[in-house]
Amino acid sequence: MHSQKLAPSALSPVYPSLITNTTGGPLCPWTLGQDRSLDAWALFERCDGQHLFLTQFPGFDGEALVQSLYDRLPLVNAPGVLASIEQEDRQALVKLTAEQWQKRLNNDDSPLGENDKLTALVELMPLRFVDQPLSRRTLLGNVDKNGAYHAGLLSSCEVLVIPAEGLLEKPSRWFMVKEALKRGYIAFSGSPIRIPVCCKVVILGDVMDHDTLHAVDPSFAGLFSLVGESQSEWFVDKEEDAQRWALGAQSIAKQYCGRPLSDEALTRLARYASRLCEHQGRLSLAWHELGLLLGQCEGSGAVSLAQLQQAILAQEARHNSVEIYAQRNVEEALVRVDTEGERTGQINGLTVVDYCGHSYGEPARITVSVHYGDGEVADIERKSELGGNIHAKGMMILSACLYRIFGQDEPLHLSANIVFEQSYQTIDGDSASLAEYCCLISTIANVPVKQGLALTGAIDQFGNVQAIGGINEKIEGFFHLCRYRGLTGEQGVILPRANTRQLNLSDEVIEAVAAGQFHLYQVDAVEEALMLLTGREVGQADEDNRFDEKSLYGLVQQRLDRMAGNDEPLPPSWWRRALDALFDRS
C-alpha cells in the first residue's frame, strides 16, 4: 500500500506535433468516428421500407452529419417527380423517378392516351430538412376547394429529416407520420385522390428521444428499424488518430471562421477538446461547439495561439459570475474553509457546481461528530432533504466499509453525524464518500487531519478508492483558494489513482506543482489517504482482528471498545472471590 505524488507531466495531455499540411486532402469532420451512422445510412439507402433514427449530442450538428452522409452516399442519382396523370374524369398522383419521368414525356414507357395529361406537380428535393413548424398541413399537404393538391413535406422530397422534438411536442404528429409511412399514401376525406409518400424519413434526436417515442408507440421500432448512434468522442490510441482529428479541426476552422489554425492553436484546441471529454486519450467531436469558439477568435490570417487562448478566457469570463461570488464568499470567510493547520473531525471535500453551461469547483467543509448510540452513521443532508439518492448510497457504502473493519464480531456502539457545513443546496453524488470516511475515522480516533489537503473520491465496501467526475474543476477550485491565501508548499489534493487519465489542468496549476508549491497525490485505498492526512500508520489487523494500539485503526478500535464497555476489567471468578474471602478471615 503506497501513495504517489503526481509529476507535472501527468497533469495534462501531451500530443505529438499535429501536422496540418498533408497530401491526403481535407477530411469531413462530421463523419469522423461516426462508423455506426455510416453503417446505418448504407442500410437506409439499400433497404426499402426501413427508416432511420440518428442520434446526436450537445455541441454537434446533426443536420451537418446527415448532409455529409447524403453527399457520401446519395439515395438517388437524380431526384424524381410527383406527377399528376389526368385521364378523362379521373386523376392519379404518382411518384416517378427522373428516368421514368423522361420516358413518360417521350412516350417511351406506358405511353399516354390522346386525351391524357401528364403534369409535374412537384420536383422532389433530394434532401430536405424541416424548415417550418410541424402541423398536419405542413406534413401532409392539403387539397384546395378546386381539388388541387398542394404538397406537404412527405410528398416533396426524396429524404425528409424531422427533429424528434417536433414529434414529441405533440405526439399526434408522430401518428400522422406513422400512418402515412405505413400505408405509403396520404388520403383526405372528401377527396378520392391518394397522394403517394415520396420520401424516406430520418428522425434526428438523442437516445432519450428514441426511447420516449418507443414508449409513446411500441410500433415505432417497426418503422424506424435502423438506428445510428453518433459518437461524441474520438479515441486517440496512436499518433495517426490525433492527425486525423487535426484535419477535421482545420476543416471546421475554415467553415466557421474562414481561417486556418496555426500549429500552436491547433494543439491548444486539441487540449481544450480533451478537457471536454475529461480524458487525456480522447478528443471531443462536438464540432459545432468547437466551431463557435473558433468563430469568436479575433484577427485575420491563421488563428494564433494567443487569439484562441483569449477566446477561451473570454468565454469563461462571460459565464463565471456565480463562481466569482462563491470564491469571494470563501476568501472573505463568509463561508469557512481552512487551508492550514490541523483539525479533528473536519476535512475539506471538493464539489462541482454546474449552471448555465459552465462548471466550477468549490471546496466544502465536512464535519463529523460521534456519540454513544446504536451504530447509525446519520447523513444530515439526507435527513434535511438536501441530499440526493446517490449521495445516500455513498453514505451506506461508507457505513458498510466501517463495519467491515470494526464491526465483524459485534455491533458498534456509536452513532455519527456527517454534514456539509454551510451548504444550502441539494448535494448529490458519491464523490465525497472518501472525505467523509476519513473525517469519521479522525473523529473516532481523536486524531487531527491536515487542513491544507483536500480530497475527492468514491469508495466501495472494501475501502478501494474509485474514480469520480469533475476532477479538473475540483482541483482548480481548491487551488484558487490556496493561491489567494498564499501557497505554503504543504497544500494539495488527494484524488483517486483511476482519475489520473482525466487530468487536464490549467497552466497555473501545473506551474505551481512544478515549483513544489502545490501537490497532487493519487491513492488506491482509504488507508493511503488516511496516512497522508494524519501522518500516522493506519495499521494491520492480526489474526484476532486487533490493531496495534499506536496505529490509527488501533486508536479507533480502543475508542469503540470504550463505547461498548469492553475496556473495563472482568469481574473476578467465584473461586477467586472465595479465596479472597478466606484470606480476609485469616
- Eight-class DSSP state of 335: S
Name residue 459's beta-bridge partners: 465
Yes or no: say if 348 and 337 are a contact pair by the CB < 8 Å rule. yes
Yes or no: say if 263 and 18 are a contact pair by the CB < 8 Å rule. yes
Cell digits of residue 255: 467553415
Of 57, 1, 3, 2, which Cα lies nearest the Cα of 30? 57
Per the listing, cell 487531519 goes with: 449
481 three-class SS: helix
| Largest Cα span, the chain | 146
Residue 244: Cβ within 10 Å count: 19
Catalytic residue among 178, 200, 450, 474: 474
Yes or no: say if 399 and 381 are a contact pair by the CB < 8 Å rule. no
The DSSP code sequence of 97-119 is -HHHHHHHHTT-SSPPPTT-EEE
Distance CA 295, CA 253 (A): 8
Per the listing, cell 439526507 goes with: 382
The DSSP code sequence of 191-231 is ---EEEP--EEEEEE-HHHHHHHHHH-TTHHHH--EEEPPP
Residue 94: Cβ-neighbour burial (10 angstroms; 0-12, 13-18, 19+): middle
Distance CA 380, CA 400 (A): 18
Catalytic residue among 84, 431, 433, 442: 431
Q: What are phi and psi of 518, to 5 degrees?
A: -145, 150
Distance CA 546, CA 333 (A): 43
50 three-class SS: coil
Helix (H) or strand (E) holding 220: helix 220-223
Bridging pattern class, strands 465-466 and 458-459: antiparallel
Of 101, 71, 95, 73, which Cα lies nearest the Cα of 199? 95
**Does the active-site annotation cover 474?**
yes
- Going from the C-alpha of 106 to that of each of 79, 306, 416, 451, the distances in angstroms are 18, 64, 91, 89
Residues with a known catalytic role: 431, 474
